[in-house]
Amino acid sequence: MKITMAHGSGGRSTSQLIDEIFVRANSNPTLDMMEDSAVVSGGKRIAVTTDSFVVAPLFFKGGDIGRLSVCGTVNDLLMRGAIPKYITSAYIIEEGADTEILERIATSMAETAKEAGVNVIAGDTKVIEGNGGVYINTTGVGIVRDSVDIKSANCRVGDALILSGTLGDHHASILSERMDIKNNIKSDCAPLVDMVRNMMEAGVDIRAMRDVTRGGLGTVLNEFTKSSGCGFELYEDKIPMTAEVAAFAKILGLNIMHMGNEGKMIAVVAADDAEKAVDIIRSSRYGENAAVIGYVSDDKKVVMNTNLGGRRIITELYGEGLPRIC
């Protein structure tokens, strides 16, 4: 069935669409009440984040907009040391969208929410004129324990930089779909709950974490230099990447340091805890390729020590990145 403007009327077609696709996929006692807002239990300190997802195409190798809309928001909560609990989902649907496609997206979203341990507790659907596009906004709420204080300003000279896995996968996957390039590159789109929870439970001294999304690792670390006043020394030979993504980046002239992921994070941890943290991430879901890739320095720059023995300054991404990657 195709979405028509009637599905956005607020009347019977709207409630049918909501009941048959979105509530069915995400059913839980809070959502099923269908009240004007969800009343849930929380903690003394909560983390809140929101993000909109406009990725094109809607489906790609390794994921889809539904999975992405949960991962992006859940990962942002985790990066502050919050345990994700609740998520909202607001759909903006263009007239002409196929209900079959909406069902696939909603189901994928529900599966990913389950994997991440979050309940979808509120939602909204709007239909607008257009050409079958689908956009999703999610807001996430997580609980932060009293003692937890994870932020980029906490980086200290000598701390270790740990990357949880290979760079560039999501970016290369979306670009391949867009340019109709045939390869086996899959998006890494994933919720990072397991690795963060395991590190926190083991008492790793985590100073800062950031998921490596739009703008890439180069942009994240340049942001960290501003908030912490520290610099970062990186070693090119330590940076995990798949041979396929490396070749793809080379052919298209892309800098892997500016390519986005959706299931990778950079963690800054106390040097004494570096080995323990890498072991924990490697034995956690989605972390098998984790590595120490450098350390925090005092010169307020992001510097790559290259395979050829040179030193190259890594800037943040400027100008145009890949549009609609997330």
Q: Where are the beta strands (DSSP E) in the chain?
A: 46-53, 59-60, 63-64, 83-94, 119-128, 134-143, 160-163, 206-211, 231-235, 265-269, 291-297, 302-305, 311-313
Mark the segment that binds Mg ion (CB under 5 A) among 189-197, 209-217, 277-285, 312-320.
Answer: 209-217
- Tell me the closest approach of the beta carbon of residue 212 to Mg ion, in angstroms: 8
Strand 160-163 versus strand 291-297 pairing type: antiparallel
User: Among all chains, which residue has been given the structure tokens 């709420």?
Assistant: 141
Tokens read off for 223: 């942001």
Closest CA to 81 of 140, 143, 126, 17: 143
- Tell me the closest approach of the beta carbon of residue 262 to Mg ion, in angstroms: 10
In angstroms, what CA-CA distances link 101 with 104, 236, 306, 314? 5, 41, 45, 40
Residues 220-259 touching Mg ion, rule: CB under 5 A, are none
Mark the segment that binds Mg ion (CB under 5 A) among 32-40, 210-218, 297-305, 311-319.
Answer: 210-218
What value, to the nearest 5°, has the Cα angle with vertex 169 and ends 316 and 171? Answer: 55
Separation of alpha carbons 263 and 224, rounded Å: 19
- Looking at the Cβ atoms of 65 and 78, the one nearer to Mg ion is 78
Residue 262 near Mg ion by CB under 5 A: no
Mark the segment that binds Mg ion (CB under 5 A) among 109-117, 173-181, 203-211, 226-234.
Answer: 203-211
- Looking at the Cβ atoms of 78 and 120, the one nearer to Mg ion is 78
Number of residues that bind Mg ion (CB under 5 A): 2
Residue 211 near Mg ion by CB under 5 A: yes
Separation of alpha carbons 234 and 154, rounded Å: 19
- Looking at the Cβ atoms of 100 and 149, the one nearer to Mg ion is 149
- Looking at the Cβ atoms of 159 and 211, the one nearer to Mg ion is 211
- Looking at the Cβ atoms of 130 and 321, the one nearer to Mg ion is 321
Residues 67-96 touching Mg ion, rule: CB under 5 A, are 76
Q: Which residues sit at the interface with Mg ion, rule CB under 5 A?
A: 76, 211
